[in-house]
Chain A
Amino acid sequence: MSEPFSTEERARLEGWLAAALGAREVRVAAARRLSGGAIQENLALELLVDGGPRAGRHALVLRRDAPSTVAVSRSRLEEYALLDAAHRAGVPVPEPWCACADPAVLGKPFYLMARVEGEARGARLVKDPVVAARGPELAAELGRVLARIHGLRPPLSDLPFLATHADPLAARIAELRGHLDRLGEPQPVLEWGLRRLERARPGSGEITLVHADFRTGNLMLREGRLVAVLDWEFACLSDPLEDLGWMLAKCWRFGAVERECGGLGPREPFLSAYEAASGRRVDRRAVRWFELLATLRWAVVALLQAERHSSGRERSLELALTAHIVPQLEADVLDYAALLEGEGG
């Protein structure tokens, strides 16, 4: 693994940070790459800050676009603005520190945030007995945190880049069909699911900030408690029920299918705590519709990831294997579609 910075980059970063943090001097005492993030590069930094309000030693994360960037997600600066808005709203997130738009410093825009200790890997969390013992309380905690995120409603003047759709669910369906068309291979099961969604759109009728990737894997836990919501790159304005469906969909339970809230806890405490904290009544049948939407969205993303490999743009075993998740998602699509059909919803 090569050094994350050249000597010149490190010096430029230290100079920029000293100015941004109002310090006499900043030294990067250690820097190493963290795993994860096919689109972003995440670096763990140890900073020694001399002088100014942040004086001391700090463990931070620097996020910048990976060298081979695929322009599908938000820019790092937009992501920083989202993190900052969530932080100010009281959502547990890594504390945002500062963002740099100037590509002359590190080649690409980047930002820094506090490094939060904990475990986010789904495969580990669903096997953790502490998590299992706290399942209902943890699910309720997740419901309350989502309610807090959904308390951010437009107009959000700090987040001017968020597009507003009059009908965000129709836009979502059109977006998924557009991806399928571009990929070119006919997908009858996914099309059947999309058509099922289109035929009866429940929706809450509300539009709020949604995280749009709120699930096990993006939630940092410590001793069975949520300490940070990570990965804000897909956040957008949409129907708040989208986040509930994404959290509850069968495909994000990491094998612990009986714990319907992300393999971590039961469904009902999650929904009732969300209702109590948000003041919204949640139609349980509508949530199932959003679970089908979640399954379809993940299936399309999986196809897009697999195509990055098969096209030769980015050869990767992990991306190649993602294609083999799609049949499971297709099975879930048919199960959800039959459930919605049976309920006449």
Chain B
Amino acid sequence: MSLPADLADLLLTARAVLRERIAPAVPAELRFEAAMVANAMAIAARADRGLPGAAEVEGLRRLYPEAADAGPEALRRRLVAEIRAGRLDATGRHLAAHVLWPRVRERLALSSPEYRTGL
């Protein structure tokens, strides 16, 4: 699922008007609000590249090959239960590489693609 390209373009065009024409005229006490609106429009427009989930679910399907009929939500619930029970303690690196980081990268690509990971 993704946002059609023409709708993403509509959002970005509106955002450019907001940032270039409207924001400079906004009183100081509303600047934070204007910046938030521009940020929200940018996030929504990035949905044209697809919504997060595909890579994470692919990793989950490889982790649980026998659960072919289970949906993404059920797979996540199973994973969470097993993490909490300590059954995956020994698989840290594998789990991070194949499920957890793919989930985070997809979500960052939508919410804040400029974020620099690493401590």
Contacts and interface: CB of A to CB of B under 8 A. Distances in A.
Interface string B66-90: 0000000100110110011010110
Contacts, number: 90
B75 to A, nearest CB: 9
Interface string B102-119: 011001101110011111
Interface in A174-207: 177, 186-189, 191-192, 194-195, 199
Nearest to B78: A186
A199 B92 CA distance: 12
Contacts of A320: 40
B15 to A, nearest CB: 14
B106 to A, nearest CB: 8
A318 B36 contact: yes
B89 A199 contact: yes
Task: Determine the interface band of chain B, counting residues with CB < 8 A from chain A.
Answer: 35 or more
A325 B115 CA distance: 10
A324 B100 contact: no
A257 B111 contact: no
A50 to B, nearest CB: 34
Given A195-B89, A321-B39, A337-B96, A330 B112 contact: no
B112 A327 contact: yes
A189 B100 contact: yes
A297 interface: no
Contact of B86 (A195, A326, A336): A195
B3 interface: no
Given A188-B76, A191-B83, A324-B43, A334 B101 contact: yes
Contact of A186 (B79, B110, B116): B79
Q: Which of B79, B83, B84, B96 has the most CB of A within 10 A?
A: B83
Nearest to A329: B104
B37 interface: yes
Contacts of B112: 324-325, 327-328
B62 to A, nearest CB: 14
Contacts of A211: none
Contacts of A338: 96
Task: Determine the interface band of chain A, counting residues with CB < 8 A from chain B.
Answer: 20 to 34
Contacts of A335: 117-119
A189 B101 CA distance: 9
A318 B33 CA distance: 8
B99 interface: yes
A331 B104 contact: yes
Interface of B: 29, 33, 36-37, 39-40, 43, 73, 76-77, 79-80, 83-84, 86, 88-89, 92-93, 95-96, 99-101, 103-104, 107-108, 110-112, 115-119
14 contacts: A187-B80, A188-B99, A188-B103, A191-B83, A317-B33, A321-B40, A324-B110, A325-B112, A327-B108, A327-B110, A327-B111, A328-B111, A331-B104, A335-B118
Interface of A: 35, 177, 186-189, 191-192, 194-195, 199, 250, 257, 317-318, 320-321, 323-328, 330-332, 334-339, 341
Given A192-B96, A195-B86, A327-B110, 15 more contacts: A35-B29, A188-B76, A188-B79, A192-B100, A199-B89, A326-B107, A327-B111, A327-B115, A328-B111, A328-B115, A330-B100, A330-B107, A331-B108, A332-B119, A334-B101
- Which 6 pairs, one residue from A and one from B, show the smallest C-beta to C-beta distance? A327-B107, A324-B111, A186-B76, A186-B80, A331-B117, A191-B83
